[in-house]
């Protein structure tokens, strides 16, 4: 996330503040539309019960911090992504138990009430999103020429970190018995595609620009897999939900990131905001 901060200026957040309707719509959409998308999957696909629980829990989770880095790679609106992710995690303490409980009772015949790991969520918000982003922005303001010369190298370091994280998760999955792996992958792909489509449709309705649309599509699809895994292990005592969360993370790298990078490759560099790139206006 420090790499994300290196590409941001205060002017980027001032620009986001000029579009409160977009921010409110994107947050409300995650509250209202993502659970509906998960219900559609549960009703339309003959998912095994454990996987259906995973889909419902995934939809109730706040946005994942990784979505901000994905927006950076996809040439989305990174300041908007940072704002949406921070708000999503902050309000997740109310959303997660409410939405998951409704989903479990309506469709899964489960009456479990989810206890939210508030402290880990706050720590994640501060240590893995706010603090690294602020450090990156601070360093950019004081070493602008250096940052502009080495930004591509910094992004490559971020890409390598994603690869290493994926390998660690893949190796870690060997400790779990991932039953019905085919259904897990199918559910992860279906949820990701449906969430992206839902986010893009909502972005069109609020007349978001292309960069904002890419960000909202990513934001809708990238849920907080770490929180879901923690809830699965520590709250529900269901290791299969933690395994599901990890598989979803791995599946979304080619599905979400690959799809938006393909779109990015068709966007000329000059389409980006030049003043944001040189950082001298903010």
Residue 6 has pLDDT above 60, yes or no: yes
* Residue predicted with more confidence, 70 or 162: 70
Give the per-residue pLDDT at 17.
Answer: 85
Helical pair 66-73 and 144-173, crossing angle rounded to 10 deg: 120
Q: Work out the number of other CB atoms within 10 angstroms of the CB of residue 9.
A: 22
Residue 25 has pLDDT above 90, yes or no: yes
* Residue predicted with more confidence, 118 or 280: 118
CB-based contact 97:112 (threshold 8 Å): no
Residue 200's pLDDT band, with cuts at 50, 70 and 90, is very high
Residue 280's pLDDT band, with cuts at 50, 70 and 90, is very low
Backbone angles phi, psi at 110, to 5 degrees: -120, 140
Which residue is it, tokens 């977009």?
Answer: 22
Helical pair 20-44 and 78-107, crossing angle rounded to 10 deg: 40
* Residue predicted with more confidence, 197 or 4: 197
Query: Which region among 9-18, 31-40, 231-240 has the lowest average model confidence (pLDDT)?
Result: 231-240
CA distance 248 to 270: 34
Give the per-residue pLDDT at 201.
Answer: 92
The SS3 assignment for 206 reads coil
Which residue is it, tokens 């870690």?
Answer: 172
Query: Which region among 54-58, 95-99, 195-199, 242-246 has the lowest average model confidence (pLDDT)?
Result: 95-99
The full length of the chain comes to 282
Tell me the sheet residues that pair with 63: 223
CB-based contact 279:9 (threshold 8 Å): yes
Nearest to 191 by CA among 225, 158, 222: 222
Structure confidence by residue, pLDDT tens digits, 102-122: 777 776 665 555 555 656 666
- The model carries a pTM of 0.79
Give the per-residue pLDDT at 277.
Answer: 42
Residue 216 has pLDDT above 90, yes or no: yes
Q: What percent of the chain has pLDDT over 90?
A: 17
Backbone angles phi, psi at 223, to 5 degrees: -90, 170
CB-based contact 56:245 (threshold 8 Å): no
CA distance 272 to 44: 40
Structure confidence by residue, pLDDT tens digits, 219-228: 999 888 888 8
Q: What percent of the chain has pLDDT over 70?
A: 76
Give the per-residue pLDDT at 129.
Answer: 65
For the chain, the domains span 2-264
CATH of 2-264, picked from 2.60.40.10, 1.10.3720.10, 3.20.20.70, 1.20.1530.20, is 1.20.1530.20
The SS3 assignment for 63 reads strand
* Residue predicted with more confidence, 253 or 160: 253
How does DSSP assign 196-218, residue by residue? HHHHHHHHHHTT--HHHHHHHHH
Backbone angles phi, psi at 108, to 5 degrees: -120, 5
Mean pLDDT (whole number) for 169-186: 68
């Amino acid at each position: 996330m420090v790499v994300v901060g290196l590409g941001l200026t205060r002017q980027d957040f001032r620009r986001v503040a000029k579009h409160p309707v977009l921010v409110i719509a994107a947050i409300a959409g995650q509250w209202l539309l993502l659970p509906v998308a998960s219900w559609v999957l549960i009703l339309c696909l003959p998912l095994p019960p454990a996987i259906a629980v995973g889909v419902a829990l995934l939809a109730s989770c706040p946005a994942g911090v990784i979505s901000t880095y994905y927006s950076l790679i996809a040439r989305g609106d990174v300041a908007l992504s940072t704002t949406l992710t921070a708000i999503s995690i902050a309000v997740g303490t109310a959303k997660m138990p409410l939405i998951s409980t409704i989903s479990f009772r309506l469709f899964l015949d489960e009456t479990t009430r989810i206890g939210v790991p508030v402290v880990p969520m706050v720590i994640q918000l501060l240590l893995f999103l706010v603090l690294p982003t602020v450090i990156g922005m601070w360093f950019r303001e004081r070493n602008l020429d250096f940052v502009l010369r080495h930004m591509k190298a910094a992004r490559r370091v971020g890409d390598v970190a994603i690869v290493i994280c994926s390998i660690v998760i893949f190796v870690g999955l060997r400790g779990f018995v991932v039953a019905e792996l085919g259904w897990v992958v199918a559910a992860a792909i279906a949820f990701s595609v449906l969430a992206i489509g839902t986010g893009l449709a909502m972005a069109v309705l609020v007349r978001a620009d292309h960069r904002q649309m890419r960000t909202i599509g990513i934001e809708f699809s990238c849920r907080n897999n770490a929180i879901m895994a923690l809830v699965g292990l520590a709250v529900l005592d269901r290791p299969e939900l933690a395994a599901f969360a990890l598989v979803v993370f791995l599946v979304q790298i080619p599905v979400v990131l690959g799809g938006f990078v393909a779109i990015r490759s068709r966007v000329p560099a000059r389409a980006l905001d030049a003043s944001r790139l040189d950082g001298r206006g903010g």
